[in-house]
Amino acid sequence: AQSVAQPEDQVNVAEGNPLTVKCTYSVSGNPYLFWYVQYPNRGLQFLLKYITGDNLVKGSYGFEAEFNKSQTSFHLKKPSALVSDSALYFCAVRDHQAGTALIFGKGTTLSVSS
């Protein structure tokens, strides 16, 4: 079965510093990987995805992620964090069996302090 792991419940960074939110995956076949962000009591907003091609994927709001096949990782990064980036971040993998549903990690709360 496909799965993703987000090893950190919370990540704290100071505004202006780089941030990394970690994600590792376990899939059979080619991984289709996604990052979403959720603000309180809101739906999920798409940030970026990796399907194929360049290992460095650029997405919305200045975020990027690097696909690393040997380490089975897809970490989310941003060079300079903003207070407004504070939210809950989800990594997800597409399940090729379950109607192509997304299978999510447990989420990582990002807190950016001013």
CB 35 to another protein: min, Å: 12
User: Which of residues 1 and 28 has its CB atom nearest to another protein in the complex?
Assistant: 1
Q: Which is nearer to another protein, 82 or 103 (CB)?
A: 103
Nearest to another protein of 80, 97 (CB atom): 97
The token pair that represents 112 in the structure block: 């950016």
- Nearest approach in angstroms of CB 100 to another protein is 6
CB of 101 to another protein, least distance (A): 5
Closest contact distance (angstroms) between CB of 2 and another protein is: 11
User: Rule CB under 8 A: which residues touch another protein?
Assistant: 32, 34, 36, 40-44, 46, 49, 51, 88, 90, 94, 98-107
Rounded Cα gap, residues 51 and 72, in angstroms: 14
**Distance, CA of 88 to CA of 67 (rounded, Å):** 21
Name every residue whose Cβ is closer than 8 Å to that of residue 104 and which is 6 or more positions away in sequence.
4, 36, 90, 91, 92
DSSP structure string for 76-91 = EEESS--GGG-EEEEE
